[in-house]
Amino acid sequence: MNAIVLDNPLIEHKLSIIRNKKTGTKEFREVIGEIATFLCYEAMSDAVLEEVEIETPICKAKVQTLNEHNYAFVPILRAGTGMLDGLVKVMPNAKIGHVGLYRDEETLKPIRYYYKMPKDIANREVIVLDPMLATGGSASDTITMLKQDGVKKIKFLCILSAPEGIKKLQEIHPDVQIYTATIDEKLNELGYIVPGLGDAGDRIFGTK
Q: Which sequence positions are flagged as catalytic?
A: 103, 107, 199, 202
Q: Is 69 left (phi over 0), alpha (psi -120 to 50) or beta?
A: alpha
**What are the Cα distances from residue 45, in Å, to 25, 36, 41, 113, 157?**
31, 15, 7, 34, 14
Whole-number Å distance between alpha carbons of 137 and 80: 14
**How many angstroms from the chain centroid is the CA of residue 125?**
13
Spatial CA neighbour of 71 closest among 20, 23, 129: 129
